[in-house]
Amino acid sequence: MGSVTKNRPENSKLKTQNSKLLIQACLKQPTLRTPVWFMRQAGRYMQEYRKIRSRWSIKEISKNPELCAEVTLQPVAKLEVDAAIIFSDILLLAEPLGFRFDYAKAVGPVFQNPILGQDDVDRLPFFDVREKMDFMFRALKLVKKKLPDGIALVGFAGAPFTLASYLIEGGHSDHYLKTKELMHQNPKAWQNLMEKLTRLTADYLAAQAASGADVVQIFDSWAGCLSAHDYEEFVLSHNQTIVNELKKRRVPVIYFSTGTTGYPEIIKKTGADVISVDWRTSLAESWRRLGYDAAIQGNLDPALLRNGPVKAIVRQTQKILQEANKRPGHIFNLGHGILPDTPVEHARAVVAAVKQWK
Ligand code: CP3
């Protein structure tokens, strides 16, 4: 109980802070309760989303601010989460880079012209993200107007490594052989590619913040395929550059990856305000190894959320909250995105359990 009174402030003490729980947690400020949202909270598991998807593609929804705002706000109303994440996709930044791709049913993204070598890297154009991604900034402004008080708006982008892995592999990959081949056998081309993606991504996220995103999340979904050594040598500095650019603009940053809980000390060096961890390591252990000066996001297993039963989901939700021990700086989330076919009631049960946690 000691930690409860110590870490949970009186209402009056919060007056001078940002009114959004999620932002308070990003900044490791004490919160009245733990904020909760879900990665991929807009998606096929939700009937309202499927209805819109039956008429429009992911690209069409993302590029139409009205549709984008509608889909972004669906889970906020339905799940009563503490954040909206702007509906988009990490791969949309690849289009102005000259890549042609589509989302194939049951396969995922398929690129027609992936990077084959140095020449393709050299040919990548620089462009003005403010102009080419204008649809997203317009959607952010629209969502911001419609968002209920106290709900944070999350912007996002892929991390340079994860985006590069799609550009090189041309889609999903089991072993990331082509990506690692470029990295190991042509470090100059790799460096060049990462620098280009890093500059674009930093600009993109800064522009999202300027358009109303309260916080941005960098999705490095596939970083866990790398050894600790390769992450540190070939990837880390680029993530640091992005985080530093956003810090200059005082935008909180969440860095998300999976499969990296074996080297939390290196992940922490990204400098992100919040480190999002997967479920493979307990939240208690991950936070202890990261150090309590970092805020943490996670870490319910999306498979448990999908499968249930609700009793087991609630038990694990409470276990995670117990491990967080009401320390300032915990954001409740999954360890990765919501899986298709997850019952909406399961997600709602988690939100209720987090909100009821005393
Ligand atoms: O979280 C949200 O609600 C916002 C929406 C969002 C999408 N993509 C829309 C989308 C976000 C945050 C992303 C990020 C994204 N996209 C990542 C990083 C997060 C992660 O899950 O690791 C990655 C790796 C991608 C690339 C991508 N886009 C893949 C691999 C796929 C196909 C796999 C799948 O789930 O079908 C997509 C398609 C995609 N992007 C969907 C959605 C909702 C699929 C649903 C549909 O077909 O409508």
Termini Cα distance of the chain: 10
Residue 222 CA, ligand 1 centroid: distance in Å = 13
Distances (CA, A) of 272 to 65, 184, 243, 253, 328: 29, 27, 6, 5, 16
- Which residue lies with its CA nearest to atom 30 of ligand 1? 108
Atom from ligand 1 closest to the CA of residue 156: 12
CB count within 10 Å of CB 74 equals 21
Task: Quote the domain boundaries for residue 85.
Answer: 11-356
Distance (Å, whole) CA 291 – CA 299 = 16
Q: Is 167 in the pocket of ligand 1 (CB under 6 A)?
A: no
Q: Which tens digit of pLDDT belongs to each residue from 201-223?
A: 999 999 999 999 999 999 999 99
* pTM greater than the 0.85 cutoff: yes
Check which CATH number belongs to the domain holding 112 and give it.
3.20.20.210
Look at residue 5 and tell me if it is in a domain: no
Look at residue 114 and tell me if it is in a domain: yes
Distance (Å, whole) CA 1 – CA 7 = 10
For a mutational test of ligand 1's pocket, the pick from 59, 60, 90, 179, i.e. the residue with the most ligand atoms closer than 8 A to its C-beta, is: 90
For a mutational test of ligand 1's pocket, the pick from 37, 40, 336, 338, i.e. the residue with the most ligand atoms closer than 8 A to its C-beta, is: 40
- pLDDT surpasses 80 at 12: no
Atom from ligand 1 closest to the CA of residue 91: 26
- Bridge partners, residue 338, by sequence: none
- pLDDT surpasses 70 at 326: yes
pLDDT of residue 18: 84
For residue 61, give the nearest of 47, 43, 77, 79 by alpha carbon.
43
Q: Which tens digit of pLDDT belongs to each residue from 256-286?
A: 999 999 999 999 999 999 999 999 999 999 9
Q: Which tens digit of pLDDT belongs to each residue from 43-65?
A: 999 999 999 999 999 999 999 99
Look at residue 1 and tell me if it is in a domain: no
Is 276:297 a contact under the CB 8 Å cutoff? Answer: yes
Residue 46 CA, ligand 1 centroid: distance in Å = 14
Residue 213 CA, ligand 1 centroid: distance in Å = 19
Atom from ligand 1 closest to the CA of residue 340: 35
Domain count, the chain: 1
- Sign of the CA dihedral 132, 258, 265, 4? positive
Look at residue 214 and tell me if it is in a domain: yes
- Bridge partners, residue 156, by sequence: 217
SS3 12: helix
Q: Which helix (H) or strand (E) holds 3?
A: helix 2-7
Residue 326 tokens read as 């009401």
For residue 278, give the nearest of 306, 296, 259 by alpha carbon.
259
- Sign of the CA dihedral 110, 62, 44, 22? positive
Look at residue 148 and tell me if it is in a domain: yes
- Which residues, 6+ apart, have CB-to-CB distance to 156 below 8 Å? 85, 86, 88, 90, 205, 208, 216, 217, 218, 219
pLDDT of residue 9: 58
Which phi and psi angles does 216 have, rounded to 5°?
-125, 145
Residue 265 CA, ligand 1 centroid: distance in Å = 28
- Which residue lies with its CA nearest to atom 4 of ligand 1? 87
Look at residue 3 and tell me if it is in a domain: no
Look at residue 2 and tell me if it is in a domain: no
pLDDT of residue 358: 85
Is 282:323 a contact under the CB 8 Å cutoff? Answer: yes
